[in-house]
Each structure stands twice: as structure tokens, then as C-alpha cells.
Amino acid sequence: MSLLIRQANVITMSEGSGSSPQTLDLRIDGQNIAAIGPNLEQIPGDEVIDGRDRLVTPGFINAHTHSWESIYKGRYDNMPLEAWQLYTYPPLGAPPRSPDFIRARSQLFALENLKSGVTTVVDDVLETPSLDFGQLEAVVDSYDEIGIRANVSGHVKNVPFLDTTPYVSEHLDRETIARAHGESLVTADEYLDFSEQAIRRFGGRGNGRINYMLAPSAPQRCTPELLTGAVALAGRYGIECHIHMLETKTQLVTGQEFYGMSLPQYMQSIDALSRNTTFAHGIWVTDEDIEILADHEVSISHNPISNLKLGSGILPWRKYQDAGVNLGLGTDGWSSSDTPRLLEVIKMASLLHKVTDSDTDRWPTVEETLRAGTVNGARSAMLDRSIGSLEVGKRADLLIWDLKTLNFTPRQRLDHQLVYSENGSSLEYVMVDGRIVVDHGTLTTLDEQGIVDEFNGYLPEIHAWQDRTDQLNQVFHPAFAAMYETCRHASSPINRWADMSDANAAGHRPASGIPSLVS
């Protein structure tokens, strides 16, 4: 049996199509889009959806997120990244989580993504204190069962925590340093062996919906052997290698302090850049850095809401576009953005970069930001041959929007209204692999309320554990406050504070103090 959507307003996002909708029919046969065009012939067995008064778009691709942070949604505010990480990724006192807990957390995370129109997540999974196959399998099985598409990582750090940030250790006592250095770290060979096994065990799960990706946390958090090995392994298997890069000014300073060059220059020097590489964030880059990334066809996952909440800065949108660097969009985790709704990120990307350049011709266009939220995100995830646009032969990952709602009234330019006026309430159907997984706001694959209730059953345990780790990790606060003060005065090739025409002008000026979380 096939599905025929007739006379719909369709935004295909195919090459050269723009973002303005066309009136088209669309036939879905099994997992794939079988035909697109005007006035397709209805064949026996077609299930028909009347597309009049409806808008059909590709599903959104959340090109950088962390399901781990589901447990911290709405807990923290007004902290820059490195201090915030002390609590969301605590170096002290983090117990291992059971596969049952991880399954409940992953299903809750996938549920809200699907209900907001995200059909693919690039989930950079980090379990503290370490990740094992049982935990990873719990994530993969959850996503397989609920029906979402996902790249699932084995996130890794193999440099001691206090050695990843400059100026901190000199402000800590010996006992605290010894406790922080007590963590067990994997070698490059151990991680690469784990990853190769994970590729074989999990790659292609769910009829190809679920794939493993490599995820060295960041250049300063991993040894060069691990970085180069991960990029090479991803290249051999044609999968994504996902790395955090230059999210804060602290990381800009780190590159100069640790390597005597910028972090992209360092990655180039160790041969750790490729078409398979995606850098999350990429804010504090020089023009030379951008040229390096463009030459190596590296993608960037832009996370504007998270970057604003953590005060990290503003990515140079137009410079990346001019250089031909592929830009996807991500929400980041639920603690740094407090939502997986990529439509909010698309709107934020459309608005934010208007304030960094007085030349209106250089402002983001709706087509650019919709591409970043769909087909460009697919490219960064190494999935653009199968998803991201509505084209014959691609998987049927799509959204159907009701145009009779207030969000589209009066009807004007539907692509503009989708970005600037829609809040998700007009979403009628979410389809992944030709299967309707959300029908008028209700999950069709699993018991939605059961997912919420099961996760909420863990809340007393979660809150007790969070309160305990908050207390333990408060010990690092004075050292991080001193580090921020030093970084604030550090010289750099990027003067973000003086020049509003520079794309990061509204970036974070690190404070000399950090708000206390506990009394």
C-alpha cells in the first residue's frame, strides 16, 4: 500500500528549488518517496491525504544535541559554559546510570523531539563517568522502538579534566586536584576498538534509521592519537565524526596556550579534518580558520539558543556562508537550551544575525535557515543521500502542517510564516521512514503518557543525586572565576567586543564571579 498526498503546498528543499512552496502531489511507497509532481495518477491501494490547505516540508534535523541533559532541563541559568559543565557533566560524584534509566531518559528525549517535528537527532551521548555497551544499547533500542532517526555517539574525553582548561589548576589545592585526577580515562586504542565494535553492532539498526557516530569531545579534551584515529575511522565507514570546537573565548585562549595556534589550525596540523567531520559551535574562528574548514569540507552545527543562554557568543554566519562552509542547526542539550524544538532554533538563526551586520543584503534568508534545519543538517550528519529534502528515492521523513490555523492566517509567504509565525501547534503529522509517528500531536508508536510517568518515577533519585553533585563540584567555583578573569584580559586575534560588525560582537564577556548554586 502507498500513500498519496494530493495538491499540497510542498517545500522540497531540493537543490535549486528555493524555499517557496509548489503545488505538488507526493507518493510514498514503503519507506521511500516514490514520486513527486503535479497531478500524479491515483493507483489502486493508494491511501489519500488531501493536501489542500496543508504544507508539506522535510522533517527537521537536530544536528547537535545531548540526550544526557534531559535530566537537567530548566535547572541552571546564568553560568558560562565551563562553569555550567561542572554541574551538568560533573567531574566529581557522578554515579553510573543503569540501562533502564537511560532507556526511560532516551524515550522522553525522543518523544519531545518527534512531537516538535524533529525526525532526526544527532545525539552526542555522554554518560558519566564512562560509557559502556549496555548504556549505548539502551539509547539505540529506545530510538529504534519509538521510531526516530538518529546518529548516536560514543562521546569520549581522554585528557584529565583539569588539563583541558588553562589557568584552573593553579588556583586549586592539592587534594582537589588529586580527586579530579582520579577519573579513569580510556586510551585512543581502547576508544577506537570500542567504536569499531559499536559500528558493527548498532550501525543500520531500525532498517537504517540508527547509526553510530564517533565523538571525540573536543581537541583540548582528547589526545591527538584519538582525534586522528576517530576521523580516519569515520572516513573508512562513511559516518560522522562529531567534535566540539571553539564554543567560548576560553577555548580560543586554550588553543593559543596549549598549541600556539587556533584549534582548527591544530586539527589541520594533526590531519584530523575531513568531509566526515562536524564541529559543533565554531564561534571563535578567524578568517584563516574558516578557510581551513572550507578547504577540508568540514560542517558546522550552529546552536544559537544554547550559545546565547551560556553567553558563549555569536557565530559568524555570513562569513561561513560566503566561504561555502556547510551549516546545520542544533538545539544543543536540554540544559543549555531547555528545549529540543528546532523550529525555535531556525527562527533564532533567522533573527540573531541581523544585529551583527548593518548590510541587509548580508542578513540570513529564510531559505538559508530552512536549509540549515533540513538538508544541510543531513549533510553534516553524513545522511544527505537519504534524507533532508523531499526527492524521489529518499526516505519519507516529512512534516504535514495545517494551513487553516491562526499561525498561517492571513496566508502570505508560507516559508516565511513557517519560520517566523509557526510555534508547532499547526503540525498535523510527523512521518519517519514512511510511517506516521505523530498524528495530530499524539505519538503513535508507544504509550506517550507511560513514557512520561516512567521517567517521572526517577525524579526523587535524580534530584537527590543532582543536589549531592552540585555540592561536591562547588569546590571548583573560585578557580573557574579566576580562569574567566584571566581569559577576559587575554589578547586574541579576534576583538569581539569593539566591533559590532564582527559576527560575535554580542558574545560573552566572562564575569569575574560565577553565581552560587548552593547555600
Residue 1: per-residue pLDDT: 67
CB distance 422 to 401 below 8 Å: yes
Alpha helix positions (H), 154-302 = 174-180, 188-202, 224-237, 249-259, 263-269, 287-295
Q: What is the rounded average pLDDT of the residues 355-364?
A: 94
Query: Looking at the predicted structure, is the pLDDT value of residue 402 above 70?
Result: yes
pLDDT tens digit sequence for 270-296: 999 999 999 999 999 999 999 999 999
Residue 477: per-residue pLDDT: 87
pLDDT tens digit sequence for 224-277: 999 999 999 999 999 999 999 999 999 999 999 999 999 999 999 999 999 999
CB distance 436 to 86 below 8 Å: no
Q: How many other β-carbons are positioned within 10 Å of the β-carbon of residue 87?
A: 21
Give the separation between CA 251 and CA 164, rounded to whole angstroms: 9
Residue 408: per-residue pLDDT: 98
Give the separation between CA 10 and CA 58, rounded to whole angstroms: 9
| Confidence label for 395 from pLDDT (cuts 50, 70 and 90) | very high
Q: What is the rounded average pLDDT of the residues 350-366?
A: 95
pLDDT > 90: what percent of the chain?
84
Residue 519: per-residue pLDDT: 33
Give the CA dihedral 64, 66, 69, 73, nearest 10 degrees. 30
What does the block give as the cell for 95?
A: 554515579
pLDDT tens digit sequence for 474-512: 999 899 989 888 888 776 655 443 333 333 433 333 333
Q: How many other β-carbons are positioned within 10 Å of the β-carbon of residue 175?
A: 9
Residue 243: per-residue pLDDT: 98
Task: Please state which of the ranges 19-33, 432-446, 488-502 shows the lowest mean pLDDT.
Answer: 488-502
Q: Under DSSP, is residue 69 helix (H, G, I), strand (E, B) or coil?
A: helix
pLDDT tens digit sequence for 181-230: 877 789 999 999 999 999 999 999 999 999 999 999 999 999 999 999 99
Residue 129: per-residue pLDDT: 73
Residue 60: per-residue pLDDT: 98
| Confidence label for 436 from pLDDT (cuts 50, 70 and 90) | very high
Give the residue from 180, 169, 92 showing the smallest Cα distance to 480. 169
Give the separation between CA 379 and CA 372, rounded to whole angstroms: 10
Sign (positive or negative) of CA dihedral 375, 378, 384, 386: negative
Residue 517: per-residue pLDDT: 47
Residue 494: per-residue pLDDT: 59
CB distance 290 to 327 below 8 Å: no
Question: Which amino acid is it at 103?
Answer: R
- Return the residue matching grid coordinates 559554559: 81
Q: Over the range 272-288, which residues count as b (16 or more CB within 10 Å of their CB) and which as e? A: bbebbbbbbbbbbbbee
Give the residue from 57, 56, 87, 82 showing the smallest Cα distance to 72. 87
Query: Looking at the predicted structure, is the pLDDT value of residue 62 above 50?
Result: yes
Q: What is the rounded average pLDDT of the residues 331-357?
A: 95
Q: What is the rounded average pLDDT of the residues 117-138?
A: 91
CB distance 101 to 359 below 8 Å: no
Residue 492: per-residue pLDDT: 61
Cis link prior to 160 (omega < 30° from 0)?
A: no
Task: Please state which of the ranges 108-117, 135-144, 469-478, 497-506 shows the lowest mean pLDDT.
Answer: 497-506
Q: Is 130 exposed, middle or buried (0-12, 13-18, 19+ CB in 10 A)?
A: middle
The CA distances from residue 365 to 342, 346, 516, in Å, are 17, 11, 40
- Residue span(s) of the chain under CATH 3.20.20.140 come to 60-380
Sign (positive or negative) of CA dihedral 388, 391, 397, 401: positive
Residue 498: per-residue pLDDT: 30
Residue 226: per-residue pLDDT: 97
Contacts 24+ apart (CB under 8 A), 191-198: 191/154, 191/156, 191/158, 191/226, 191/229, 191/230, 192/226, 192/229, 192/230, 192/233, 194/133, 194/154, 195/154, 195/230, 195/233, 196/233, 197/133, 198/133, 198/136, 198/154
Residue 500: per-residue pLDDT: 31
Q: What is the rounded average pLDDT of the residues 378-406?
A: 98
Fold of 2-58+391-449: Urease, subunit C; domain 1 (2.30.40)
Residue 94: per-residue pLDDT: 85
Residue 182: per-residue pLDDT: 73
CB distance 452 to 57 below 8 Å: no
CB distance 424 to 343 below 8 Å: yes
Q: Average pLDDT, whole number, for the chain?
A: 92
Residue 518: per-residue pLDDT: 40
pLDDT > 70: what percent of the chain?
94
Residue 495: per-residue pLDDT: 43
Query: Looking at the predicted structure, is the pLDDT value of residue 314 above 50?
Result: yes
In CATH terms, is domain 60-380 a member of 3.90.1150.10? no
pLDDT tens digit sequence for 64-95: 999 999 999 999 999 999 999 999 999 998 88
Query: Looking at the predicted structure, is the pLDDT value of residue 57 above 50?
Result: yes
- Residue span(s) of the chain under CATH 2.30.40.10 come to 2-58+391-449
Give the separation between CA 320 and CA 381, rounded to whole angstroms: 18
